[in-house]
Amino acid sequence: MAVVTVSSKFQIAIPRSIREKIGLKPKEKLVMIEKGGIITLIPQLPIKEMKGFAKGVQTRDIRDESDRF
């Protein structure tokens, strides 16, 4: 688990171990989602890299809409 500190300008630094693990490079964009006080950062991928990422997804038994982002 990595702990970061929010600066006086509300900035954070992503620890090297996490950057290397997910292959994050300078100037790449992250999508930030907040839900229930939890912040999630997701790398924004080019649309070409997303081709086929949902292959085989089942549409049955989808959770309630109230639990979605």
Q: How crowded is the C-beta side of 2, counted as CA atoms within 13 Å? A: 11
d(CA 24, CA 33): 18
Q: Which residue from 21, 32, 22 is spatially nearest to 12, judged by alpha carbons?
A: 32
Q: From first to last of its 69 residues, what are the pLDDT tens digits of the chain?
A: 889 999 999 999 999 999 999 899 999 999 999 999 999 998 887 777 777 777 887 777 766 666 666
pTM value is 0.59
Show me where the domains of the chain are located.
28-56
Site of tokens 């070409």: 48
